[in-house]
Structure 1
Amino acid sequence: MIQKNLRNINMFKAILTKDHLEKFKKYFLSDEKNLLAQNVCSKIDPFEVALSRKRIEETQHIYNSKIEAEAKPVTNQKNSGRCWLFAALNVIRLPVIKHFNLEDFEFSQGYLFFWDKIERCNYFLNNIVETAKRNEPVDGRLVSFLLYDPTCDGGQWDMIVNLINKHGLMPKKNFPESYSCEASARMNQVLKSKLREYAKAIRDLIQKGGSDGDVQKLVEEQMINIYRIVAICLGIPHDTFTWNYYDKNKFFHSIGPITPKEFYENHIKPLFNVDDKVCLVTDPRSTNQYGKAYTVDCLGNVVGGRRCIYNNQPVELLLELTAKSIKEGEAVWFGCEVSKRCASKIGIQDIKIHDFPLVFGVDIQTTMSKGDRLLYGESAMTHAMVFTAVHADETNEVQKLRVENSWGDDRGEKGYLLMTSEWFKEFTFEVVVDKKFVSEEVLDVFKQEPIVLPAWDPMGTLAC
């Protein structure tokens, strides 16, 4: 029927003729600046060419409100998509370093990564069961979307809460990095191959009328193999550990033997309770109202855990609460679209840092509204980092923010970026602050039954 209808429509076809191509070439060659730009960009990264020298000279990594002390060492997620875990653990370690009087400290990112892989694969298989019972076709948009990327490294704040509340935390010394922690592509390739294979087996069993018990047994058998793959690549965390450390005064201390969950509950939770933190997002699309709660279909990492809830608020409120938190001495986890208008080598996120019209004759990335960029696939959250300082003018309006990244100390100012408030408004999508900073009116949004967005909605994009 569709093909028949298409034959009856006068299709618009803008065919490029030889005359068109000659016209385009003539316009290009008529401006010598194009030839200069071509010469330069044939040897140098076009985005480096577009960097504004004037903007760089005007930028200073100086702030008038900063958390008491930033943590050491600067972390590095390397060739993995674990920024959301790194950013969370970078925030949590700050009060830990202060309380235990430490020179430096890192939680084990590999520990949470291990449990996220196990839980995430199980979550995927459960999604396959659920969508099969919904009679979703395997080539339909939902199942096709799930099969496209059965497991990835990225995540959201509520996923962090799930992992910590269920599995606790561990110092990095007690579960160090492995090759596949730092370069996860090969492990993920193995897992994705098996998960797609297992998805077919599950759907075949359900289609043949298998009972819930049969399906549960099959998933358990599949998870035995998944656990083996992850354990081979990442190692297996010990059930208990002992944390030995020296404080700044070189005194020896020891905690343990203790389970990771006990370590979090008894020693970390009193300093940083993940359940006291709330995640606020900003989605300016006209279809999604502020003051409403949203969730995304099939998004999560722990079966039986909390859902990813989006409390949608204006971006100005997110900026206000970020500044308030930092002025009270608390760093802020946040998610953004990191690559847009970002000079990562020198560590500047500023919508004026690139002069694209000067190089290409056209502007990019900010020519549509934030809402339209979400609608047209031009924008989505891609990365999580930490705010540690803000700078406000004499009217108390925020001008810029200091950002702790997880790309090592050879980018930016020894691992830190500078973000302007204009950039924040354009490319930041969520922040996590303590609920004590948030009004009751905004907190009440979490009591709503969330509106369910489709699995492929851009607000379901995971920070990596």
Structure 2
Amino acid sequence: MANPVGILTPEIFNDFREKFYADKKNLLAQNVCTKNNPLDACISRANTAETNHVFQHKITEVKPMTNQKNSGRCWIFATLNVMRIPFMRRHMLEDFEFSQPYLFFWDKIERCNFFLHNIVKTAKLGEKVEDRLVSFLLRDPINDGGQWDMICNLINRYGLVPKTCFPESWTTECTTRMNFLLTSKLREFAKILRTIVEENGSDDKIEKTILEQMAVIYRIVGICIGIPSEKITWEYYDKSKNYHCVGPITGLEFYKQYVKPYFNVDEKVCLVTDPRPSHPFNELYTVEYLGNIIGGRKVLYNNQPVETLLQLVAESIKDNEAVWFGCEVSKRFASKSGVHDLKAHDIEVMFGIDAQLGLKKPDRLIYGESCMTHAMVFTAFSYGEDTKVAKLRVENSWGEERGDKGYHVMTGDWFKEFVFEIVVDKKYVPADILAVFDKEAIVLPAWDPMGTLAE
């Protein structure tokens, strides 16, 4: 009897083996890669020699370099890194950080509440647990990551505080264990809520149950992270060593009085580039069930060509304004040297494949090969000989070990392939692009890659 189609037979493996050893380059590659990180072994010497951290247009950068450590809080770090620049200029500070743990605490609380209400909503719609939607919601109910509109929700409701007023805890720097506890409880709570809905329980009973569940969530998060004080007092020295004292004041009052005049999150807009044929440019999109606060603003995506995003980044930086952005950080990235470049690795030479770029950007989104995974900040750029943006400087939140004391270099070509969204002030955006925000948003399914959260 003949073997079924698709069986990998000994004859096939013999053919593979003979072809592998027939190419002596494979032997050298095997010797190198079995003793080293395969991607580090592929780093291009020629590319490294041509890379530098000198730029034509650069904003006034500030200290210290931040470090999110073992957490998925990049979206919070990137936002606060952008916001602290004008704040530090105004208050003449030598070094400063807003409290990332403060926003992280409130995001965990609000997002658990958001998740539980989504479970109720899907149950009322008759969605089964086995269906794709509910399965997706249950898969990772309390992800650390986020999107721009989600950070705006937190800041507009809870404000900001200096990091000295609410510092890191062990859990904020290593979130896995707390997330494990929260995930377990949220799935347990989801079953309880779905049972109430199936038994035609009243809305009052549902809300009472959610409040009881949220008390448990609050206790877990409060124990692991600490609980922010209702009011803070901030004492500091400016660059001239003059003493200042602010407070007692709430986080929201602190934002409105001391930060918002110099960085108003409501004056910033998020533009994305999604080149899939089914998602035309100059349209507004949102993702179903994506968010973090009940009653907060929706996550909205104004879809524009990537060249538009690159141009607006340049205009912002020339005006001394840093730019929040989201990208797929892991592709064609030389981590230790902090280089984002399509030519950073000689993968073709080592493995004989066109790694990661065999698919074009639209197809990478469609086939699950690409999505936004990380948020960082643009602080500088240079034009090339063709007057187009050739390279950009990137402030990351992984400490000082990589790149130029934590700053990375990104080529314009890498930007076009792996950057998916930017946030800029409205004043830099043409009126016709701003008008897209007035359109009714096209709703994408919860699992759409544009809903991926930056970690």
TM range (shorter): over 0.9
1:202 maps to what in 2?
193
Give identity over the alignment, percent.
Answer: 61
Determine helix, strand or coil for the equivalent of 1:433. strand
Q: Deviations 1:377-414 (Å, cap 9, x if unpaired)?
A: 10000000000001013553110000000000011110
- Deviations, residues 291-323 of structure 1 (Å, cap 9, x unaligned): 000000100000000000010000000000000
- What is the Cα deviation at residue 350 of structure 1? 0.1
After TM superposition, list the pairs within 5 Å mapping 1:9-408 onto structure 2.
Answer: 13-67=5-59, 69-393=60-384, 395-408=386-399
Which residue identity is paired with 1:19? E
SS in 2 for 1:403: strand
Tell me the SS of whatever aligns to 2:408: strand
Deviation string, structure 1 residues 398-439 (Cα, Å, up to 9, x no partner): 100000000000111100000000000000000000000001
SS at match of 2:393: strand
| SS of residue matched to 2:164 | helix
Shift of the alpha carbon at 1:71? Answer: 1.2
Deviation at 1:13, TM superposition (A): 3.5
Q: Within 1, Cα distance between the matches of 2:354 and 2:322?
A: 34
For structure 1, which runs of at least 5 residues remain unmatched after alignment?
A: 1-11
What is the CA-CA distance between 1:121 and the residue it aligns to?
A: 0.3
The residue type equivalent to 2:28 in the other structure is: L
SS in 2 for 1:228: helix
Q: Which runs of 5+ in 2 are unaligned?
A: none
Q: Within 1, Cα distance between the matches of 2:213 and 2:73? A: 25
Structure 2 Cα separation of the partners of residues 298 and 381 of structure 1 = 18
TM-score, normalised with respect to structure 1: 0.97
- Residue equivalent to 1:8: none
* SS of residue in 2 equivalent to 1:436: helix
Q: TM-score, normalised by structure 2?
A: 0.99
The one-letter amino acid of 2:49's match is: E
Helix, strand or coil at the partner of 2:409: strand
Counterpart of 2:72 in structure 1: which amino acid? G
Q: Distance in 2 between matches of 1:408 and 1:85?
A: 15
Q: Partners in 2 of 1:193 and 1:233 — Cα distance? A: 16
Q: Deviations over 1:228-271 (max 9, x none)?
A: 00000000000001110000000000111111000001110001
Query: 2:295 & 2:449 partners in 1: Cα distance?
Result: 24
In the alignment, the residues of structure 1 paired with residue 141 and residue 187 of structure 2 have an alpha-carbon distance, to the nearest angstrom, of 7
Dislocated runs of 4+, deviation >6 Å: none
Q: Quick one: distance in 1 between partners of 2:305 and 2:288?
A: 23
SS of aligned partner of 2:71? coil
Number of aligned residue pairs: give it: 453
**Match for 1:374: what amino acid?**
L
**1:435 aligns with one of 426, 441, 445:** 426
- Return the alpha-carbon distance in structure 2 between the equivalents of residues 91 and 434 of structure 1: 12
Q: How far apart, CA to CA, are the structure 2 residues paired with 1:165 and 1:347?
A: 33
SS of the residue 2:197 aligns to? helix
Give me the CA root mean square deviation: 1.0
Q: Secondary structure at the match of 2:7?
A: coil
User: 1:218 and 1:447 mapped to 2: Cα distance?
Assistant: 37
- Cα distance in structure 2, aligned partners of 1:396 and 1:388: 19
Aligned counterparts of 2:176 and 2:237: Cα–Cα separation in 1: 36
Q: How far apart are the structure 1 equivalents of 2:280 and 2:142? A: 30
